Amino acid sequence: MSLDVTNPTPEETSKDPRRHDNVSFAETALRLGGKSADEARRTGALDAADDQVEALFAERHRTTASPVHRAVWENRVPTELFSMTTSPVADDVRRMMNDSLATVRRHRRDGTLYNEAGKLTDTVLSELGEAGYWGALVDKRYGGCGLPFQNFASFLTRMATIEPTVAGLASVHGCIGAVDPIRTFGSAAQKERYLPLLASGRRLSAFALTEPGAGSDLTALRTTAVRDGDSYVVNGEKLFITNA
């Protein structure tokens, strides 16, 4: 994915139908809906941050080029983009899929999938790692399978018919967890250090957004992470941590 690190031009901002007089659509909508000024302002700040991130991407990768945006704002629905095709997979990748599915089926049949606390056992996590399950989306050069996302989605659908929790863990691990951000934005050193660990399952990524006073409202987050030498000092409280 190519990136454009320039900020949006005034012309680009003026063409955005969601903005009016430098106030985001989200902030305006909340104010008109009777929300408090503080909530509208904080949501508007989040919306503005989204716009700044949008400007980092090449134009063809921005929201304005997406099928949904075109359908809403341009009355164009490119239906051909909604048909998903999968690519043939190599024998070793197919073996990973079959071994992973068989592992979960066996433990589910034997009643050994979960421990007394209701979590997947370390044995299950380890066996899935040996099968290559956690490295499905990691490039082969880092010890993964390099599975195209279309095939990954189809594979997780099959896994979900056996045990949805196992499918969900791989989705978080590979997508909103550490794998995809490091693959997409990580430095060469970060990829060399972390991707082999993530591919093997020796490290499983988690997702910790929710706090006592914040969920989808990122501007209300209060947890801080301050670098201290080679470590980070984290202060705050998190709830509902996926993959914890």
pLDDT digits (tens, 9 = 90+) for 65-80: 888 888 888 887 777 7
Q: For 99-122, what is each residue's pLDDT tens digit?
A: 999 999 999 999 999 999 999 999
- For residue 212, pLDDT beyond 50: yes
Instruction: For the chain, report the end-to-end CA distance as a whole number of angstroms.
Output: 30
Which residue, 126, 132, 136, is CA-closest to 171? 136
- SS3 state of residue 240: coil
Q: In sequence order, what E strands does 123-242 have?
A: 224-228, 231-235
Indicate yes or no: pTM above 0.85: no
Considering the segment(s) 91-200 as one domain, its CATH architecture is Orthogonal Bundle (1.10)
What mean pLDDT comes out for the span 175-200?
96
The CATH 1.10.540.10 domain(s) of the chain lie at: 91-200
Distance (Å, whole) CA 71 – CA 223:
38
Residue 136: the pLDDT is 97
Which residue, 92, 114, 235, 199, is CA-closest to 163? 114
Q: For 126-149, what is each residue's pLDDT tens digit?
A: 999 999 999 999 999 999 999 999
Confidence band of 2 (pLDDT split at 50, 70, 90): very low
What is the share, in percent, of the chain residues with pLDDT greater than 90?
A: 56
What mean pLDDT comes out for the span 86-106?
93
Average pLDDT over all residues of the chain: 87
- SS3 state of residue 111: coil
